[in-house]
C-alpha cells in the first residue's frame, strides 16, 4: 500500500538490552513492533512489515546486510532505514534510562539527507616508481605486469643493472610535483639515462635540468620528505620507507589496483562570487588558505580556487569560511542541522533532559563508541551521538544550533593524533564557547575530546556539568545557504538564552563584528564600499554617506586594508542589537552644488580641499587665470562647457627655462671669472 504508515522494528538483541516502548511512542510516529531476535526466529515480522509497502526503520545495523538481502529477494520497494540503538545506548550501565535517546536516534535516522555529488578520477596505469636503490627497481619489476612502469632513481649509489630492460630506469630528482591520481605533473632535475654498457653498476650519461613528465600514479620509495603536503591524503600518491619491507609491499599492492575510473565525493561546494579573499589586488580573508592541509586551495584573483580532485574532505575551509563561499556538501550544513534539530527535539519530547551532543566521525568515532559499549560502561543515557563525515567540518552554526535546540553541551571527538589539523576547529570551538558562556548557558560546554581510549571518552563525557541552565529551545527549521543559516541560528540562540546580553566581544578572526571609522579623517571616497564583498559597507546614491550593516560583516578586513586614509578599524564582536537595527550611518556630508546649474555632485569638504590645494598654487589657477578655479566648483557637464567657451588650453603652460648642458655651465663659469662684478 503506497499510503502505509511508517513501521519501526526494535529488537532487544536476545534480551541483552532493555526497550522503552513509551519513550519510543512519544518520540517516533507510526507503528512500533518489538522483537527479541528479529534477525532469526522473528524474521517473519520484518517480512510482514516490508509487505505493507510503507517505509520501514530497523533499529539494528549489525544485521543490515541480512535485512537488505531479504528485502531484495522479496522484491520489496519499501524504503529501508537502519539505526544503531544498541552500542549507542542499549549496551550501557545507564541503559534503563536510554529510552529517550533511542527515540531520538530513530527519528534522526529517518531525516532524509540530500544525494552526494561525485568527482571522477581516471587512471590509465602509468606509474612512476621514484626511489634511490635496488628496492625501487625491484618494485618496478613487481608492477610491470600490471602497470606501465618507469623507475626513476634520485641521486643513486651503486645500483645493479637489470638483466633485461623491461621498463625504463633513469636518474632524476623531482624539483616540483602537482596533480592527483590520473594527472600528476612533475618537474625533474638531473635527468640522465643509463649507458647500455653498464656492467656491475648503472652508469648514467650527461644530466639535464628542467625536464617535465606526467603520470597517473607515483610510488615514492626514496625515504625522503614527501612530494606533497599531507601526502597520505593525496589520491594516487603512495609512499613508503624503502627499509620497511611490509610498507613497500603494501604500497605496491595498492598501486596495482589504481587502474580505471574512480569516484570520490565532492566535499566542498564553492561559490566564488561570495569569496572575500581579495579585491583590487588587496588581500582580505585567508582563513581557508591557512588551514587547507593538502594545498587544494590557491589564490585565483579576487577569490580562491579549490581543486576538487585534490581536496581530501577535512572541511576546515567550510568550518571557518565566514561568507559561506566554501560550504561542506557531505551533507550540507542546513541538512545536517535539520538532523540535529530532529535529534534534540525528539529527545526532549520523549522525556530526556540535559542532552550532550557527541559529534564524531565514522572511521574513528564509531569504533571507539562500539568498544566502549562492548568492553566498558557504554555511553551515558543523555549523550546523543551524531555522526559526521569529518569532525573538522563542523562550523559555528552547528555548535550554536545545538544549544538553540536545547542541548546542554557539545563534545567533538577527535583522534589523539588527529588525521587533519584541528586548529581551525579549535578556533570555532573557542568562539562559540565564549558566545554560549556570555549568553548564560554555562562555561566550558563546548569541548574537543582528543582520545583513542574508550574509557577516557566516557570519563570526558561524565565530566560535563549535570545542571546546565534551562532555556527555551528554538523550533526553526534550518534551510538555505550557510551564511543565512549561520545568522538565523545565532539570532535564535540569543532568543533561547537563559541570560541574553546585547553584545559579546570576540577575538580577531571571528566571523562577526563591526567597524569603527574616524569620521574626521574619512573623505567619503567609498573605496571601502567598492572593496566590501558582502555589501556590509554601502553608500547612498541620493546623498554623500557611508553606511554599515553589521549582520553582513564577515571581518575579512578588506575595507580596513583598502582605506587610503587608514581610518577604518575592525571590531570583532557579536552585537545582536546591531543585527536587528537598520544600516548605521558612519559619516554623512552635505553635497556640493554646481555653481552654474545647481546639480549636486561630490561633497563640500572635498571640493573645498581641492580648491585650497590648487588656487594660487598652480599656474592654471593663479595670476590672471585665478578665476578659472571656478571650473572645479562645476559639475562635469558645466565644466566642459566652461572650458570650451573660454578656450581653456590645458597645455598652455608658461615657457620653461631652457635645458642647461655641461657646456652651458662651463661657459657661465668662465664668464663669471672674466667679469666677477657681473657687468
Task: State residue 23's pLDDT score.
Answer: 94
Do 606 and 592 contact (CB within 8 A), yes or no? yes
Q: What are phi and psi of 534, to 5 degrees?
A: -110, -5
Residue 676 or 385, more confident: 385
Do 410 and 399 contact (CB within 8 A), yes or no? yes
- Give the span between the Cα atoms of 632 and 620, in whole angstroms: 12
Give percent above pLDDT 90 in the chain: 78
- Give the span between the Cα atoms of 635 and 613, in whole angstroms: 18
Output the CA torsion sign for 24, 28, 33, 35: negative
Eight-class DSSP state of 549? -
Q: In degrees, to the nearest 5, what angle opens at C-alpha 464 toward C-alphas 458 and 469? A: 150
Q: In degrees, to the nearest 5, what angle opens at C-alpha 97 toward C-alphas 92 and 99? A: 100
**157: how many CB neighbours lie within 10 A of its CB?**
10
Task: State residue 674's pLDDT score.
Answer: 64
Task: State residue 623's pLDDT score.
Answer: 58
In Å, how far are 96, 484, 651 from 103, measured between CA atoms?
13, 30, 85
Query: Is the peptide bond between 331 and the residue preceding it cis, with omega within 30 degrees of 0?
Result: yes
pLDDT grade for 639, boundaries at 50, 70 and 90: confident
pLDDT at 438 over 50: yes
pLDDT at 1 over 50: no
Output the CA torsion sign for 13, 15, 21, 23: negative
Task: State residue 412's pLDDT score.
Answer: 98
- Give the span between the Cα atoms of 118 and 265, in whole angstroms: 4
pLDDT at 651 over 70: no
* Residues in CB range of 112: below 8 A, 6 or more apart: none
- Give the span between the Cα atoms of 327 and 315, in whole angstroms: 8
Task: State residue 592's pLDDT score.
Answer: 83
Candidates 404, 470, 406, 469; CA nearest to 443 is 469
Residue that the C-alpha cell 570526558 belongs to: 460
pLDDT grade for 504, boundaries at 50, 70 and 90: very high
Average pLDDT for 475-497: 94
pLDDT grade for 616, boundaries at 50, 70 and 90: low
Is the entire prediction scored with pTM above 0.85? yes
Residue 636 or 185, more confident: 185
In Å, how far are 160, 216, 221 from 134, measured between CA atoms?
7, 23, 10
Cell digits for 418?
588527529
Do 250 and 240 contact (CB within 8 A), yes or no? yes
pLDDT at 75 over 80: yes
Candidates 205, 121, 145, 214; CA nearest to 169 is 205
pLDDT at 657 over 80: no
pLDDT tens-digit map of 86-108: 999 999 999 999 999 999 999 99
- Give the span between the Cα atoms of 215 and 181, in whole angstroms: 8
Task: State residue 530's pLDDT score.
Answer: 94
pLDDT grade for 470, boundaries at 50, 70 and 90: low
Candidates 63, 61, 47, 64; CA nearest to 89 is 61
How many whole angstroms from its chain centre is CA 417? 21
Do 436 and 495 contact (CB within 8 A), yes or no? no
Task: State residue 386's pLDDT score.
Answer: 98
Average pLDDT for 218-228: 96
Residue length of the chain: 679
* Residues in CB range of 183: below 8 A, 6 or more apart: 214, 216, 309
pLDDT tens-digit map of 354-397: 999 999 999 999 999 999 999 999 999 999 999 999 999 999 99
Candidates 172, 165, 171; CA nearest to 197 is 165
- Give me the helix-helix angle, 99-109 and 333-349, nearest 10°: 150
Task: State residue 675's pLDDT score.
Answer: 64
pLDDT tens-digit map of 162-202: 888 899 999 999 999 999 999 999 999 999 999 999 998 99
Output the CA torsion sign for 524, 526, 527, 533: positive
pLDDT at 636 over 90: no
- Give the span between the Cα atoms of 102 and 674, in whole angstroms: 114
Task: State residue 658's pLDDT score.
Answer: 73
- Give the span between the Cα atoms of 608 and 395, in whole angstroms: 50
Average pLDDT, the chain: 92
Average pLDDT for 445-449: 97
Average pLDDT for 60-66: 96
Do 220 and 237 contact (CB within 8 A), yes or no? yes
pLDDT at 346 over 80: yes
pLDDT grade for 32, boundaries at 50, 70 and 90: very high
pLDDT at 241 over 80: yes
pLDDT tens-digit map of 388-436: 999 999 999 999 999 999 999 999 999 999 888 899 999 999 999 999 9
- Give the span between the Cα atoms of 546 and 586, in whole angstroms: 5
Residue 10 or 200, more confident: 10
pLDDT tens-digit map of 455-468: 999 999 999 998 88
Do 392 and 448 contact (CB within 8 A), yes or no? no
Edge-to-edge strands, sheet with 126-131: 211-215, 184-192, 169-178, 148-153, 126-131, 217-220, 237-239
In Å, how far are 173, 209, 546, 587, 605 from 520, measured between CA atoms?
60, 59, 13, 9, 11
Residue 29 or 622, more confident: 29
pLDDT grade for 308, boundaries at 50, 70 and 90: very high
Amino acid at each position: 500500500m503506497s499510503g502505509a504508515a511508517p513501521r519501526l522494528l526494535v529488537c532487544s538483541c536476545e534480551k541483552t538490552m532493555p526497550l522503552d516502548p513509551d519513550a519510543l511512542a512519544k518520540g517516533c510516529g507510526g507503528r512500533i513492533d518489538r522483537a527479541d531476535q528479529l534477525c532469526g526466529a522473528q524474521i517473519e515480522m520484518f517480512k510482514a512489515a516490508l509487505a505493507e509497502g510503507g517505509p520501514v526503520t530497523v533499529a539494528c545495523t549489525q544485521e543490515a546486510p541480512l535485512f537488505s538481502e531479504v528485502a531484495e529477494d522479496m522484491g520489496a520497494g519499501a524504503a529501508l532505514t537502519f539505526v544503531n540503538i544498541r552500542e549507542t545506548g542499549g549496551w550501557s550501565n545507564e541503559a534503563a534510562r536510554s529510552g529517550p535517546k533511542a527515540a531520538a536516534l530513530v527519528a534522526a535516522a529517518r531525516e532524509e539527507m540530500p544525494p552526494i555529488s561525485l568527482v571522477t578520477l581516471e587512471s590509465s596505469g602509468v606509474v612512476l616508481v621514484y626511489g634511490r636503490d635496488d628496492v625501487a627497481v625491484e618494485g618496478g619489476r613487481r608492477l610491470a605486469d600490471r602497470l606501465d612502469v618507469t623507475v626513476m632513481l634520485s641521486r643513486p649509489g651503486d645500483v645493479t643493472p637489470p638483466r633485461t630492460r623491461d621498463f625504463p630506469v633513469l636518474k632524476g630528482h623531482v624539483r616540483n610535483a602537482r596533480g592527483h591520481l590520473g594527472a600528476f605533473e612533475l618537474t625533474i632535475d638531473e635527468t640522465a639515462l643509463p649507458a647500455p654498457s653498464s656492467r656491475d653498476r648503472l652508469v648514467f650519461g650527461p644530466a639535464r635540468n628542467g625536464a617535465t613528465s606526467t603520470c597517473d600514479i607515483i610510488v615514492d620509495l626514496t625515504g625522503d620528505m614527501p612530494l606533497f603536503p599531507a601526502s597520505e591524503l593525496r589520491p594516487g600518491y603512495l609512499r613508503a620507507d624503502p627499509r620497511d619491507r611490509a610498507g613497500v609491499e603494501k604500497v605496491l599492492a595498492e598501486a596495482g589496483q589504481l587502474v580505471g575510473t574512480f569516484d570520490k565525493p565532492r566535499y566542498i561546494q564553492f561559490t566564488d562570487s561570495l569569496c572575500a579573499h581579495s579585491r583590487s589586488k588587496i588581500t582580505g580573508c585567508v582563513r581557508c588558505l591557512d588551514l587547507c592541509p593538502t594545498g587544494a586551495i590557491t589564490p585565483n584573483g579576487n577569490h580562491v580556487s579549490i581543486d576538487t580532485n585534490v581536496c581530501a574532505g577535512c572541511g576546515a575551509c567550510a568550518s571557518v569560511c565566514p561568507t559561506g563561499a566554501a560550504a561542506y556538501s557531505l551533507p550540507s550544513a542546513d541538512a545536517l542541522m535539520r538532523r540535529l534539530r530532529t535529534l534534540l527535539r525528539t529527545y526532549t519530547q520523549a522525556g530526556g533532559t540535559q542532552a550532550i551532543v557527541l559529534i564524531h566521525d565514522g572511521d574513528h568515532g564509531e569504533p571507539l563508541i562500539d568498544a566502549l559499549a562492548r568492553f566498558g560502561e557504554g555511553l551515558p543515557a543523555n549523550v546523543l551521538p551524531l555522526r559526521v563525515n569529518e569532525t573538522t567540518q563542523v562550523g559555528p552554526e552547528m555548535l550554536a544550533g545545538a544549544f538553540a535546540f536545547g542541548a546542554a553541551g557539545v563534545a567533538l571527538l577527535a583522534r589523539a593524533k588527529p588525521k587533519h589539523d584541528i586548529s581551525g576547529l579549535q578556533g570555532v570551538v573557542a568562539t562559540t564557547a565564549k558566545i554560549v558562556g556570555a549568553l548564560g548557558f554555562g562555561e566550558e560546554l563546548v569541548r574537543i575530546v582528543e582520545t583513542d581510549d574508550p574509557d577516557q571518552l566516557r570519563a570526558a563525557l561524565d565530566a560535563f556539568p549535570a545542571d546546565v541552565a534551562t532555556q527555551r529551545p528554538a523550533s526553526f527549521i534550518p534551510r538555505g545557504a550557510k551564511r543565512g543559516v549561520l545568522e538565523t541560528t545565532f539570532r535564535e540562540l540569543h532568543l533561547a538564552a537563559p541570560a541574553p546580553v546585547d553584545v559579546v566581544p570576540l577575538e580577531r578572526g571571528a566571523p562577526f563584528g563591526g567597524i569603527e571609522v574616524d569620521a574626521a579623517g574619512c573623505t567619503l571616497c567609498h573605496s571601502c564600499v567598492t572593496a566590501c564583498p558582502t555589501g556590509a559597507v554601502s553608500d547612498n546614491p541620493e546623498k554623500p554617506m557611508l553606511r554599515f550593516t553589521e549582520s553582513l560583516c564577515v571581518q575579512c578586513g578588506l575595507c580596513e586594508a583598502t582605506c587610503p586614509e587608514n581610518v577604518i578599524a575592525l571590531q570583532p564582536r557579536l552585537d545582536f542589537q546591531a543585527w536587528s537595527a537598520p544600516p548605521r550611518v558612519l559619516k554623512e556630508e552635505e553635497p556640493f552644488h554646481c555653481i552654474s546649474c545647481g546639480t549636486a555632485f561630490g561633497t563640500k569638504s572635498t571640493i573645498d580641499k581641492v580648491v585650497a590645494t590648487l588656487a594660487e598654487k598652480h599656474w592654471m589657477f593663479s595670476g590672471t587665470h585665478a578665476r578659472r578655479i571656478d571650473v572645479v566648483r562645476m559639475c562635469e557637464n558645466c565644466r566642459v562647457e566652461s572650458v570650451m567657451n573660454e578656450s581653456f588650453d590645458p597645455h598652455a603652460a608658461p615657457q620653461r627655462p631652457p635645458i642647461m648642458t655641461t657646456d652651458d655651465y662651463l661657459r657661465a663659469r668662465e664668464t663669471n671669472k672674466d667679469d666677477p662684478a657681473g657687468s
